[in-house]
Amino acid sequence: MARGKANGSQPKGDGVGAGKDELLGYYRDMLLIRRFEERAGQLYGMGLIGGFCHLYIGQEAIAVGVQAVKRPGDQVITGYRDHGHMLACGMDPREVMAELTGREGGSSKGKGGSMHMFSREADFYGGHGIVGAQVSLGTGLALADKYRDNGNVSWTYFGDGAANQGQVYESFNMAQLWKLPCVYIIENNQYAMGTSVERSSSETHLFKRGASFRIPGEEVDGMDVLAVRAAAQKAADHARAGNGPYILEMKTYRYRGHSMSDPAKYRTREEVDDVRKTRDPIDHIEELLEKQGFADEATLKAIDAEVKRIVADAAEFARTSPEPDPSQLYTDVYTEAAQ
């Protein structure tokens, strides 16, 4: 198994091997997630979003980097910090935001909310509210791929907190025993809900969790979209070749609390500010674009303006879309068998 650095200080990629269009695309996609989540936070504060709301701010490079190597037909499944994954998969920002506000125009018709969106069209098999539950489901998706021999990979995400769930290890065992094409991605943002990895896990190198099942893995700088892309390509090649699952531990950091109701008093403001100043994934791509001569300040401002227009439109749609009709309360609960 490859061994990564544990302190999160991996050197950033220099952009070699990535062209202008690729870097600009990554920049735009990450900026869309950032601006979308910022607006979602505002709508939550205004009372337009109810229930739980977990923002992806700071972790954008992971979803975007993996999406860069995902093939059509590959499935994506994750936990409840899911808005960024939906946008990376290509879901309409309008539908995602409208689902957050519980409106009829949402991707799940306003009945799923923040944690339970779904899109077969985008190969997105959900946000899931039960910690670690998606790991077993993602393993099942990989079993279906193996059975159908379709060459697809199941990209199964979970967090450092879910890494201690028993069902995760049952899934690991089955996936390796049956050589299932599953890439397990641990988004290690250091704090689970509010407890640091050092206080909650006896083995803090989470990519090693598959060692007893003979599953290879490695630690990746999850704040560097190019490092994520390279690691994801390696893991996908391993899985598609019939070698079974692979574990990627993405060392990342969330700037906001666990959810909108979390004041995050378990860490200092200085710690958060230091990560923002030295490791921000969007700043890193911006620096590469300028260093390579691919974009100047005006170009980047134009992209930001475009993204802000998209997000503003999504917020307005989410605010004005009607709520589901009461007659829809009991629909979409079960699938009726064909007569």
- The secondary structure of 128-188, three-state, reads CCCCCHHHHHHHHHHHHHHHHCCCCCEEEEEECCHHHCHHHHHHHHHHHHCCCCEEEEEEE
The answer to which of 10-19, 143-152, 188-197 has the lowest mean pLDDT is 10-19
Of 3-17, 42-56, 264-278, minimum mean pLDDT range: 3-17
What pLDDT is recorded for position 339? 63
125 pLDDT above the threshold of 80: yes
Least confident of 15-24, 92-101, 311-320: 15-24
pLDDT for 94 beyond 50: yes
The stretch 231-238 carries a mean pLDDT of 98
User: What is the pLDDT, as a whole number, of residue 14?
Assistant: 60
Q: What interhelical angle do 20-45 and 225-240 show, nearest 10? A: 100
Please check whether residue 180 is in contact with residue 174, taking contact to mean a CB–CB distance below 8 angstroms: yes
Per-residue model confidence as pLDDT tens digits over 183-218: 999 999 999 999 999 999 999 999 999 999 999 999
Single-letter residue type at 59: Q
pLDDT in tens, 257-300: 999 999 999 999 999 999 999 999 999 999 999 999 999 999 99
pLDDT score, position 283: 97
* Residue 4, pLDDT score: 33
Find out whether 37 and 63 touch, Cβ atoms under 8 Å.
Answer: no
**Helix/strand/coil for 57:** coil
- Say what the pLDDT of residue 334 is: 82
Check whether 5 has a pLDDT greater than 50.
no
Strands (E), the chain: 75-77, 154-159, 182-188, 217-221, 246-251
Mean pLDDT of 78-101: 97
Residue range 243-264: average pLDDT? 96
pLDDT at 305: 98
- Determine the pLDDT at residue 336: 74
Q: Over the chain, what is the mean pLDDT?
A: 93
| Residue-level pLDDT at 12 | 60
Q: Which of the four pLDDT bands, split at 50, 70 and 90, describes residue 2?
A: very low
Query: Distance (Å, rounded) from C-alpha 279 to C-alpha 274?
Result: 8
Can you give the C-alpha Rg of the chain in angstroms?
A: 19
CA distance 60 to 31: 8
Query: What SS3 class is residue 87?
Result: helix
Global pTM reads 0.92
Average pLDDT of span 152-174: 97
Lowest mean pLDDT among 1-15, 149-163, 252-266, 318-332: 1-15
Q: What pLDDT, on the 0 to 100 scale, is given for residue 232?
A: 98
Structure tokens at 153: 């990979």
Q: Is 110's pLDDT higher than 70?
A: yes
pLDDT of residue 243: 98
Give residue 333's pLDDT: 83
Residue-level pLDDT at 337: 72
Residue 212 CA to residue 226 CA, distance in Å, equals 29
